[in-house]
Structure 1
Amino acid sequence: MKKRIGVLTTGGDSPGINAALRGLGKAATGVYGMEIIGFQDGFSGMAQGLTVELEGSAFSGILTTGGTILGTNRDRPDRVIIDGVPQDATSQILQNFDKFNLHALVCIGGSDAQDSAYYLMQRGLNVITLPVTIDNDLPGTDTSIGFDTAVEVAAEAIDRLHSTAISHHRIIIVEMMGRETGWLTLAAGIAGGADVILIPEIPYHTEKVAEAILKRSHSGKRFSLVAVSEGAISQESVRFFEKARLANRRLRQGTEQSEVEQRLEEIEKHAAGDTLHLANRLEDFTKLETRITILGYLQRGGTPSATDRVLATQLGTACAALIQEGVFGVMVGTRSGTVVTTPLDQVAHQTKTVPLDHAWIQGARLVGVNLGD
């Protein structure tokens, strides 16, 4: 009897998902004689039994296509939104795994996929995952599918903004994705020749950033490019959060819950405006016009790079081979170009941050990039 495997994509879209589906599908059906069914729109589709038959023709022409042919969202098994109502769909997902006679479920995505797969593994399902995220923040793999493409897009954006910065003698701040980690901003900033790179791992001093920009200006370079992760935080904010946490502990000891919630809202508002706050402060310090460009979803869209297509194919085909061997409960990644597997309990709820002694950080410092510290 043929093995039947299910596959879904969950979390944010990323270049290379379809290439991974193609690698998985071609190897699984063409080499190992398996059958594949895809679930539409992540775990909500699996809960509702919304399937797509994935056969030979389904994998034609998708190698270079961005997004995901299956659709995606951020629902998790224990919180799926159906008809606008959030609900725990764990039981429906487990039932549909049996209903469709699945031997394994492949979850493709970033941290959402890893957390959800681990959750289902603990409930007895054969699961295996592929790492897809432009943030490159998953442990257990050197690089995630989609990261290389996002770096190329972001670096090109910095390249294009150079001419505007030079022409108008401006500071231009380019905000990139990365709430908890700075891999994308660091790589794109180095590749694009940014003068300042600010990442979450290194809280920055606004005054030191301004001093570096003024030093450039006094040497005749009347423009500066600042690459900043959306999660980068100033030393001022670090101190603010420390005081806020202390205040919240005091509030919880002797006041109404509504007051605590109000205080938390104030903290969130402060955090959300950090890049704008940085721009205003730099303009005040340097007297140079400062503008912000937020790349946002541009980094996640479009055709995957050749590097991401190769990586996606490598991991997708390896995933099929591992299923054939009966290996489950792992994420498939690469280390030094070699395919490796990491148990899901070592990936779920974990974040790979940029080490402060990483070669990229050292290299950036040696070419004169200011990191805000």
Structure 2
Amino acid sequence: MKKSIGVLTSGGDCPGLNAAIRAIGKAGRNRANIIGFLDGFRGLMQDRTMRLDDASLSNILTLGGTILGTSRDKPHRMPIGGEVRDMTDAMVEVYNHHHLDALICLGGGGTQKNALRLKEKGLNIITLPKTIDNDVGLTDVTFGFDTALEIATDAIDRLHSTATSHSRNIVVEIMGHKAGWLALGAGVAGGADIILIPEIPYDIQQVAAAINRRQRDGKRFSIIAVAEGATPIAPPEEEKPVKKKKKSRAVEIAPSAHVGHTLELTNQLEHLTGLESRLTILGHLQRGGSPSAADRLLATRLGAACMDLIEDGVFGVMVAARGETYAAVPLEEVAGVRKNVPLDHDWIKAARKVGTCLGDAPME
């Protein structure tokens, strides 16, 4: 008798989700009836489904986003009718209504925690690690990261020409609230002169000094790759400057919290270096478009492996990438664990050796 398997995608969208859905569906088509729940955990709670058959899986390998839709709703904190409620029991009911043998949840760090909550309710859960931030713990890499890295690198490549033509500082804001993998990788690959990431609080004076050294060496511009979560070293309380309101020249949008910080950095650099400075925010461009070959391969490998684990009766795990194979990591070990860039990582070492300023020391 065929098994019944549910699939959902949760959290932010990213390239490779459809490749993973396709792999699950195609690897399991002779072993299971597979249904997809629409719009993440909210669709599971509302029992909104679509059948993942050959017709629905056709021609989705190259598509960005997710055919199932996604949301950031949490099972235990679901907005319902103007209030926030715990809807995990409702999700358990839907799971049992469909007589599911397993539920596969594709998502990032938040999804791993939410999946663990359902596992603790007695459901057979398996997860796959996706996020462009590459910050899910205990996996070598997440699908979505490679595509976003290519997009951010290409953006830095393109900004070089306008930066040098106008003798400008160009600040490029790259996604990454808590982890700097994307900004670091794109900054190194794109030849950014300065890279600022959350793991290394920066000294604005060191950043300005690096730009001024480049000017003295005859360089007409500087590219500064900044993770949206990068923060300055906090000055002592008695030295904190009084902020003055002034109109920004860098962008003409109403800044959100993190954009406001990056905008302030841009204006500070213009003041400290005397060079016209402009801010470019890549934003959701980094999540869109067709997945790279590497992400298609990774998502397909992990999706197919997921069905093998279900066949073997292995549940309560995340299917982690381990070199060219995979490992089943217990959700208890993954949930709440963020993979930050180690300060001794080879990417950081390489950046320093080629003279990139990371905001904490002058370039050699």
User: Where does residue 295 of structure 1 map in the other structure?
Assistant: 282
User: Where does residue 248 of structure 2 map in the other structure?
Assistant: none
Cα distance in structure 1, aligned partners of 2:311 and 2:268: 57
Cα distance in structure 2, aligned partners of 1:278 and 1:53: 49
Deviation readout 1:133-177 (Å, 9 max, x if unpaired) = 000001111110000000000000000111110000000000011
User: Where does residue 155 of structure 1 map in the other structure?
Assistant: 153
Asked if 1:365 is matched to 2:352, the reply is yes
Asked if 1:235 is matched to 2:217, the reply is no
Asked if 1:314 is matched to 2:301, the reply is yes
Which amino acid counterpart does residue 51 of structure 1 have in structure 2? T
Cα distance in structure 1, aligned partners of 2:273 and 2:182: 27
1:129 aligns with one of 97, 110, 127: 127
Which amino acid counterpart does residue 317 of structure 2 have in structure 1? V
Cα distance in structure 2, aligned partners of 1:270 and 1:120: 33
Cα distance in structure 1, aligned partners of 2:83 and 2:61: 35
Cα distance in structure 2, aligned partners of 1:96 and 1:339: 30
Residue 275 of structure 1, CA deviation: 1.1
Q: What's the secondary structure of 1:361's corresponding residue?
A: helix
Q: What's the secondary structure of 2:151's corresponding residue?
A: helix
TM-score normalised to structure 1 length: 0.89
Which amino acid counterpart does residue 154 of structure 1 have in structure 2? A
Residue 120 of structure 1, CA deviation: 0.7
Contact 1:9 1:41 (8 Å CA) reproduced: yes
Deviation readout 1:318-371 (Å, 9 max, x if unpaired) = 001101101111110112222112111111111100000000000011111100
2:319 aligns with one of 328, 332, 344: 332
Q: What's the secondary structure of 1:273's corresponding residue?
A: helix
> Quick check: 329-338 or 293-302, which moved more?
329-338
Cα distance in structure 1, aligned partners of 2:168 and 2:86: 51
Deviation readout 1:246-281 (Å, 9 max, x if unpaired) = xxxxxxxxxxxxxxxxxxxxxxx9866321121111
Asked if 1:22 is matched to 2:9, the reply is no
User: Where does residue 216 of structure 1 map in the other structure?
Assistant: 214
Contact 1:44 1:82 (8 Å CA) reproduced: no
User: Where does residue 282 of structure 1 map in the other structure?
Assistant: 269
Contact 1:42 1:71 (8 Å CA) reproduced: yes
Matched length: 343
Matches within 5 A, 1:171-210: 171-210=169-208
Cα distance in structure 2, aligned partners of 1:227 and 1:28: 42
Cα distance in structure 2, aligned partners of 1:280 and 1:49: 49
Which amino acid counterpart does residue 233 of structure 1 have in structure 2? T
Contact 1:43 1:80 (8 Å CA) reproduced: no
| CA pair 74-190 structure 1, distance change in 2 beyond 3 A | same
User: Where does residue 346 of structure 1 map in the other structure?
Assistant: 333
Cα distance in structure 1, aligned partners of 2:257 and 2:311: 51
Deviation readout 1:13-34 (Å, 9 max, x if unpaired) = 000000000011100114xx21
Unpaired runs of at least 5, structure 1: 244-268
Task: Give aligned-pair identity as a percent.
Answer: 57
Cα distance in structure 2, aligned partners of 1:307 and 1:270: 33
User: Where does residue 117 of structure 1 map in the other structure?
Assistant: 115
Residue 59 of structure 1, CA deviation: 1.0
Cα distance in structure 2, aligned partners of 1:21 and 1:55: 11
Greater per-residue helix proportion: 1
Asked if 1:51 is matched to 2:70, the reply is no
**RMSD of the alignment, in Å?**
1.5
Residue 85 of structure 1, CA deviation: 4.8
Cα distance in structure 2, aligned partners of 1:121 and 1:23: 23
Contact 1:140 1:341 (8 Å CA) reproduced: no
Which amino acid counterpart does residue 67 of structure 1 have in structure 2? G
1:105 aligns with one of 103, 112, 115: 103
Cα distance in structure 2, aligned partners of 1:69 and 1:272: 30
Cα distance in structure 2, aligned partners of 1:362 and 1:336: 22
Residue 78 of structure 1, CA deviation: 1.1
Cα distance in structure 2, aligned partners of 1:87 and 1:301: 32
Cα distance in structure 1, aligned partners of 2:94 and 2:83: 20
Which amino acid counterpart does residue 12 of structure 1 have in structure 2? G
| CA pair 62-84 structure 1, distance change in 2 beyond 3 A | farther
Contact 2:228 2:258 (8 Å CA) reproduced: no
Deviation readout 1:203-258 (Å, 9 max, x if unpaired) = 00000011111111111101000000000000137x56xx9xxxxxxxxxxxxxxx
User: Where does residue 91 of structure 2 map in the other structure?
Assistant: 93
Cα distance in structure 2, aligned partners of 1:320 and 1:338: 14
Q: What's the secondary structure of 1:235's corresponding residue?
A: coil
Contact 2:18 2:65 (8 Å CA) reproduced: yes
Residue 104 of structure 1, CA deviation: 0.4
Which amino acid counterpart does residue 359 of structure 1 have in structure 2? D
Contact 1:196 1:209 (8 Å CA) reproduced: yes
Which amino acid counterpart does residue 145 of structure 2 have in structure 1? F
Which amino acid counterpart does residue 226 of structure 2 have in structure 1? V
Cα distance in structure 1, aligned partners of 2:311 and 2:197: 41
Deviation readout 1:105-151 (Å, 9 max, x if unpaired) = 00001012101101111111100000010000011111100000000
User: Where does residue 323 of structure 1 map in the other structure?
Assistant: 310
2:35 aligns with one of 34, 37, 41: 37
